[in-house]
Every structure is written in C-alpha cells, then in structure tokens.
C-alpha cells in the first residue's frame, strides 16, 4: 500500500476559476515537491488520456454543511469514471458547488492513487453567516422598522446578492418617506464571538426630505378640495407671501 500524498489538481481549473470570478495559486496550497508522489504527478503529465475510477470522496473545511450534502451538490460520486488529462468532470463538480453561492473558495485534490483508482478531496471555505445587523445614522425607531425589511436574517449566508438587496430595500424604505437622495454604505466585519460569523454595518445618510410646495389641478371638473383629500399622505406646505403669485404655469392660466 503506497504512502498517502496530496497533489493539487490544477488541470483546466485556472480557466474554470477565472470564469467564476476567483483564482487560486497552486504554489500556495500544494505540498512541497519533494513530498508529492511521482505517480500522482505523472497523471497530469501523461501524453495519453487515461480512465480512472473514483474510489472515495472526502470533504474538508465544512462547518455547517453536511459532507454528504456537499458531495451531492458537486454531482460527483464514488464509482464515477474520469479521464485525466482532458476530462471535465472535476471542472463541472467545482462549478456545481460554486453556483450555490455557499463557498468563498473551493479546492480539489487527488490524495491517493491505487492502480486506476483515485481518491479525491474537496477543501471548501464556507461563506460567513450573519450574526447581527448594525445601523448607523438613523433613529432607534427606524432601526427597528428596517431590521425586518432588509431581506437578510440572522444565520443566513451572506452573499453579494443579499448585500445589494439589503441596500436597495433600505433606499426604498426612505424613498417612500420622501427621501430621494439616500446614501447607504455597507461594511462586513468578522464577529469574533464565533467562527464563520460576520456583522453587517449599514451607515445611512438620508439626505434632505423632499417636500411639496404647492399642488395645482388643471382641467379638472371635480372640486379641488376633494381631489386633495384623495392624496392622503401628500401634504402641501403652507405659504406666506405679501405679493400675489404672478408666475404662469404651462398647464394653466396666469393667476
């Protein structure tokens, strides 16, 4: 029985990682050359593709996700045949995992070669989960209202899409209240109380509230006071002037 060695599987993964928006540096993760089994290296240096059977699949680095679940998502199974070099089984497995938005990093290793049987290992880094939300720049009452409307809850995985959704929901919340120039910055920081948890801090600058100075109805046959009554929540600011308004609207006659 040959000694176990770990060899980083790098065939066609450079392009796979680039497409999905992240990269790996094999030199940082591969075992020193002196400790790598020459037979494992020869798998990738072979000029003629060869079929291998997967004899075992191991998952490392997972905290919240069950090993069987990760293997199932990858689409790879013990007994599958793979072709090395030239096959795309491993690239598809990594893509299947990456598309779930559950992991920040995925590495695939061949850890053992026994004749034509190979053993593989997925080393994954799970995305952090939300431990709490902090709002800066707004009142306590507004914080309570916002917490249930941002679209992400405690213990959920923090993804870029959920961050964007939270920002958009905050802007909409204040837009409906008359703030049309809301600026929201979001900062993600590690929660030191437990591994795999992060805090999202939203700093909100509401800007100036838009107020309606005057409401004018043109061409209507319904009494103006009745129309205004239908615009519930739309308040017209009171005016105080010593001179009559001589401006002319493009919609009506000169007052």
| Ordered per-residue pLDDT tens for the chain, 255 residues | 333 344 444 433 333 333 333 333 333 333 333 456 777 777 877 888 999 999 999 999 999 999 999 999 999 999 999 999 888 999 999 999 999 999 999 999 999 999 999 999 999 999 999 999 999 999 999 999 998 899 999 999 999 999 999 999 999 999 999 999 999 999 999 998 888 999 999 999 998 887 766 666 666 666 656 655 666 555 555 544 555 555 554 445 544
Domain membership of residue 214 (yes or no) is: no
Q: Which residue has the tokens 């979001």?
A: 186
Neighbouring C-beta atoms of residue 124, cutoff 10 Å: 21
Q: Which residue has the tokens 């540096």?
A: 25
Domain boundary among 126, 145, 165: 126
- 254, with CB counted inside 10 A (0-12, 13-18, 19+), is exposed
The model's pLDDT over 55-108, given as tens digits with 9 standing for 90+, comes to 999 999 999 999 999 999 999 999 999 999 888 999 999 999 999 999 999 999
Domain membership of residue 224 (yes or no) is: no
For residue 16, the enclosing domain spans: 7-126
Helix, strand or coil for residue 132? strand
Q: How far apart are CA 69 and CA 249, in angstroms?
A: 67
CATH number (domain holding residue 20) = 3.10.20.310
- 169, with CB counted inside 10 A (0-12, 13-18, 19+), is middle
* Judgement on whether residues 47 and 23 belong to the same structural domain of the protein: yes
Q: How far apart are CA 233 and CA 212, in angstroms?
A: 11
- 65, with CB counted inside 10 A (0-12, 13-18, 19+), is middle
* Judgement on whether residues 120 and 167 belong to the same structural domain of the protein: no
* Judgement on whether residues 135 and 118 belong to the same structural domain of the protein: no
* Judgement on whether residues 52 and 90 belong to the same structural domain of the protein: yes
* Judgement on whether residues 91 and 135 belong to the same structural domain of the protein: no
């Amino acid at each position: 029985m040959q000694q176990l060695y770990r060899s980083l599987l790098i065939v066609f993964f450079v392009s796979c990682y680039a497409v999905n928006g992240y990269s790996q540096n094999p030199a940082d993760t591969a075992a020193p050359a002196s400790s790598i089994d020459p037979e494992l290296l020869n798998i990738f240096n072979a000029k003629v593709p060869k079929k291998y059977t997967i004899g075992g699949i191991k998952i490392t680095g997972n905290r919240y996700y069950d090993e069987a679940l990760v293997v199932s998502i990858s689409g790879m199974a013990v007994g599958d045949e793979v072709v090395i070099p030239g096959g795309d089984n491993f690239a598809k497995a990594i893509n299947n995992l990456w598309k779930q938005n559950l992991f920040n990093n995925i590495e695939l290793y061949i850890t053992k070669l026994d004749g034509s049987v190979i053993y593989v290992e997925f080393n994954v880094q799970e995305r952090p989960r939300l431990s709490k939300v902090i709002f800066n720049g707004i009142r306590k009452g507004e914080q309570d209202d916002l917490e249930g409307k941002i679209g992400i809850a405690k213990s959920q995985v923090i993804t870029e899409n959920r961050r964007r959704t939270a920002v958009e929901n905050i802007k909409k919340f204040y837009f409906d209240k008359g703030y049309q120039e809301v600026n929201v910055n979001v900062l993600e920081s590690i929660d030191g109380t437990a591994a795999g948890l992060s805090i999202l801090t939203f700093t909100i600058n509401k800007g100036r509230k838009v107020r309606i100075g005057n409401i004018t109805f043109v061409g209507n046959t319904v009494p103006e006071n009745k129309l205004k009554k239908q615009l519930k929540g739309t308040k017209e600011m009171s005016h105080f002037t010593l001179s009559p308004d001589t401006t002319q609207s493009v919609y009506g006659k000169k007052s």
